[in-house]
Amino acid sequence: MDSILLLSLVALLVVAISWLWDYTVVRLIWRPHCIAKEFREKQGIHGPAYKFLGGNNGEIDRLMEEADGQVLDVRDHNYLPRIAPHFLKWRA
């Protein structure tokens, strides 16, 4: 009886450790790097390197503040520089 309980606890511990490994390494570290690599190689979007916790949010915020300071012509229907200035910069 004790061996069955011990075996089930060990199995549960192995499952918990494997889930924790999957969550931390694969989802938080590996996947963002793979997505950034896909963007750079196949879609032609070149931007700054990925940062672990904050990503590229700091640079996006800075570019959005610069775009908010620009005055646009009323007749101009090109709204992309105002909405997503980081896309225009990183696409080139």
3-19: pLDDT as tens digits: 889 999 999 999 999 99
Report pLDDT for 40: 80
Q: What is the pLDDT of residues 17-27, one digit of tens each?
A: 999 988 888 88
| CB under 8 A, 24+ apart: contacts of 85-92 | 86/47, 86/56, 86/59, 86/60, 87/45, 89/47, 89/63, 90/45, 90/46, 90/47, 91/44, 91/45, 91/46, 92/46
Predicted pLDDT at 49: 74
Hey, where are the domains in the chain? 1-43, 45-92
Average pLDDT value for residue range 49-67: 83
Q: Quick one: which H or E segment has residue 74?
A: none
Task: Report pLDDT digits (tens) over 27-39.
Answer: 877 888 888 888 8
pLDDT of residue 39: 80
pTM above 0.85, yes or no: no
pLDDT at 83 over 90: no
